[in-house]
Amino acid sequence: MKKRLRDREQQKKLFDLIGAGTVSPRFLVNKLYELENKKLNIDYINLENFYKKDEEITNEDLLNFIDENNDQLKVEYIDFKYALINPQNLIGINEFNKEFFDKIDQIENSILNGIKFDAIISEFKLNSKKIDDYKFTEKGDEIQKKIYEARNNNFDIFENKENYVIYKIDNIEQKKPDLNDNQIKKEVVELISQKNKFDFNRGLLEKIQNEEFNEEDFLNLGKNQIKSIKLNSIKDNNTFEINSVQMLYSLPSNSFTLINDENDNIYLAKIKDYDDMTKQMEQKDFEKFLSKENTKIKNDILKSYDLFLNEKYNVDINQIAINNVKNLFQ
């Protein structure tokens, strides 16, 4: 125990010593300043114009897609009965009193004791409603949606605003998507559209990664649709999402990549060149970037220290223990 405490204290002193003695050379501070503030010129093409439009997706496309993804696209339909319960229809007055909740307890006990739905409805003189072939839809009736969401428990009662709801699910059936249902057809069209976009983007990215995409390909693809923009710094996210901007700044001139904006529109971009730095770093900027570069160097040293310890002491990770910890949060 004493040895472990002593080792920790020595490690803390080492880190404090590293932190106190870390001073970045000016050329590294200048390099960081230039990286974050230099202006980058790029050309880009909005790929939305190259994707297959929804109206171009034919019935044959829909049928082929359903056949290819039959198991994943099956939809659950349910047949069920339910009744609303409130003070008025249960005890004859609009008051949530002890008598009302006593009867709710009786209904819950009847469900637990295996009394059939129709018998409960009859005993408490409730009016029930029967729904067949129900499929979940966002715009559907709120109570019916809740029953669908609770379909793994086929007989129960739950509270919904000013009512209690007793329900019994009689049948659950998985069916192939019905293209005569406009909502289902719309959902399948959207799935095909997203797959087409993914396949197009993936094919383009693979060509770039395999160095099979060049300037001529870029010009042929873009034709009259190529736009140009100047990014003012690595933090300039006025047009593209910030992670995309940071990636652009990490690439060399005349290279290509795919980027996106805040609305997840995808673009093919070409890095043209960087403008020469004209603005000199002021003293206040120097101090800020000196601190950032010092922090970066400290982190790099500490990471190297961790790697050294792992190699020296052959630290093994107990994956079973990690999975057990993960399970606690699921």
Question: Which backbone phi and psi does 152 adopt, to 5 degrees?
Answer: -70, -20
Residues 6+ apart with CB under 8 A from 229: 41, 42, 44, 239
pTM comes to 0.59
Q: Grade residue 329 by pLDDT with cuts at 50, 70 and 90.
A: very low
Mean model confidence pLDDT for the chain: 82
Relative orientation angle of helices 2-21 and 283-313, to the nearest 10 degrees: 150
**CATH, domain 75-175, list 1.10.3470, 2.60.40, 3.40.720, 3.10.50:** 3.10.50
**Of residues 241 and 311, which shows the higher confidence score?**
241
**Of residues 48 and 12, which shows the higher confidence score?**
48
Q: Which residues pair with 169 in a beta bridge?
A: 80
pLDDT digit string, tens, across residues 77-116: 999 999 999 999 999 999 999 999 999 999 999 999 999 9
* Whole-number Å distance between alpha carbons of 273 and 37: 14
Question: In 3D, which of 278, 229, 276, 231 has the Cα closest to residue 250?
Answer: 231
User: What pLDDT shows up at residue 233?
Assistant: 83
Question: In 3D, which of 67, 62, 77 has the Cα closest to residue 191?
Answer: 62
pLDDT digit string, tens, across residues 106-144: 999 999 999 999 999 999 999 999 999 999 888 889 999
User: What pLDDT shows up at residue 14?
Assistant: 55
Residues 6+ apart with CB under 8 A from 241: 259, 260, 261, 262
User: What pLDDT shows up at residue 321?
Assistant: 45
Residue boundaries of the structural domains of the chain: 34-53+194-274, 75-175
Per-residue pLDDT for 175 more than 60? yes
Which range has the worst mean pLDDT, 103-112, 137-146, 162-171, 261-270?
Answer: 137-146
